[in-house]
Amino acid sequence: MKLAYFVKPHLGGTYTVFRQLRKGLRAHGIEVEWMGLSHDAREATAWTDTSENGVLLHTESCSSEKQQAEAMLAALHERGFDGVFVNVLADRVQMNLARYLPAHMLRIMIVHNITPGTYAAARALRDHVHATVGVSQRCRRDLVVRHGFPVSRTFAIPNALEVEEIADRRRRREPAEPLGVLYLGRVEDASKGVFWLPDIMAAVTEPVTLTVAGDGPDLEALKKRLEPHAAITTFLGAVSPDQVPETLASHDVLLMPSRFEGFGLTLLEAMAAGCVPVVSDIAGVTDTIAENDVSGIRFPIGDWRAAARSIDELGRNPERLATMSVAARHRVADKFGLKRMAGSYARLIEDMAHQRPAIALPLPMDEWATPLGLRAGLRTYLPAPVKNWLRVARERWYRNPSRDAA
């Protein structure tokens, strides 16, 4: 069995999932290669493993999305793929292609986030895929309960990693050292809540340093907002996957103030490295990964004062920090190891190979059209402060036990 994973190399969780999935499924005799579309002739990647792990299709000469889709379909046939993994809110052409693939080709959709836009896109493809995987319990529950996905074909398979790759790199903090706090990820406020970092740093009373590792659209604005804390702040820029374990192991605390996450692979990587997470409490997501006050500390979304108090508590109590560091590593090894994730995907693929469920018939390529869920919706035009307020309000509502009675 050979499957294409629709993505192209980038510094992000979707490609990291590919790298882990490829490694894990190989042990089950299932080959996975990435396949991406390039719309820019100047595009090149600095990744060293891409040529043997996948292919980038250059489609600059294609005058329409339909032609791009036809080029991708031809490549799927030429390279002998038996099926595809479709990542929601990746490339729009690749997502839409799932509705046009030949009937014999297996289609597994992976939903990586919990936003209304993500769910709208997934719903547009729902009837054209054989199985849908949510990367967290929250994803699966939302898809089934609120978006009509069939229970029998919708699964929760948490992301995972090979813990051994991150083992034995932990740098022990000296008693006189300030607590090393790390933000690692895309520097973007809408989802990652990075503009809360200055507020958190202003409220922290214990000696700390802050490292911001990552790049993104809000990097320059964040640098300006953190100018009052310049003496304790370092910006590393983008960090390659190979540098992530060492970066995590050289810090004490991962600060993750996200407004929303589908899973939080960075959280998992931090815990595997023994870097204690102080993370937003996102229902069905972070609360399924970090056990509060055991393998991490969770705080209400947007409550920067609570985040600061948690950092201070860890700074004052090195014994507790050390205990939680060990517990975090054990948590990942016990619940989120690569073998567990790969086994779940392998069983799903094998089940689909033996008895493939009936789905909607493939659409004719001559009738190529983009469904509503894959187009920009009205939410795209809302001002950022309004969207951010709605995101926090939605998560607080989700935390309300009476929500399903409404």
Binned at pLDDT 50, 70 and 90, residue 268 comes out as very high
Same domain? For 249 and 321 the reply is yes
- Return the structure tokens found at 392: 């926090």
69 within a domain of the structure (yes/no): yes
Span of 37-46, 63-72, 179-188, 325-334 with lowest mean pLDDT: 37-46
pLDDT of residue 393: 73
Q: How far apart are CA 91 and CA 23, in angstroms?
A: 23
Region 305-323: mean pLDDT is 96
Q: How far apart are CA 379 and CA 94, in angstroms?
A: 23
- 263 pLDDT above the threshold of 70: yes
pLDDT digits (tens, 9 = 90+) for 169-195: 566 666 678 999 999 999 999 999 999
DSSP string, 48-89: SSHHHHEEEEE-TT--SHHHHHHHHHHHHHHTT-SEEEEETT
pTM over 0.75: yes
pLDDT of residue 222: 98
pLDDT digits (tens, 9 = 90+) for 108-160: 999 999 998 999 999 999 999 999 999 999 999 999 999 999 999 999 999 99
Which residue in 188, 202, 191, 18 sits closest to 116, CA to CA?
191
- Return the structure tokens found at 35: 């396949």
Q: Assign residue 193 the CATH number of its domain.
A: 3.40.50.2000
Q: Which of 281, 304, 335 is the last residue of a domain?
A: 335
- Return the structure tokens found at 379: 């939410």
Q: How far apart are CA 111 and CA 143, in angstroms?
A: 9
386 within a domain of the structure (yes/no): no
pLDDT digits (tens, 9 = 90+) for 222-247: 999 999 999 999 999 999 888 888 99
Same domain? For 155 and 176 the reply is no
Provide the domain limits for residue 303: 163-335
- On average, the pLDDT of the chain sits at 89
Same domain? For 73 and 182 the reply is no
- 385 pLDDT above the threshold of 80: no
pLDDT of residue 24: 95
395 within a domain of the structure (yes/no): no
Q: How far apart are CA 96 and CA 286, in angstroms?
A: 30
Same domain? For 202 and 328 the reply is yes
The total number of structural domains that make up the chain:
2
Q: Which sign does the torsion angle of CA 373, 18, 128, 262 carry?
A: negative
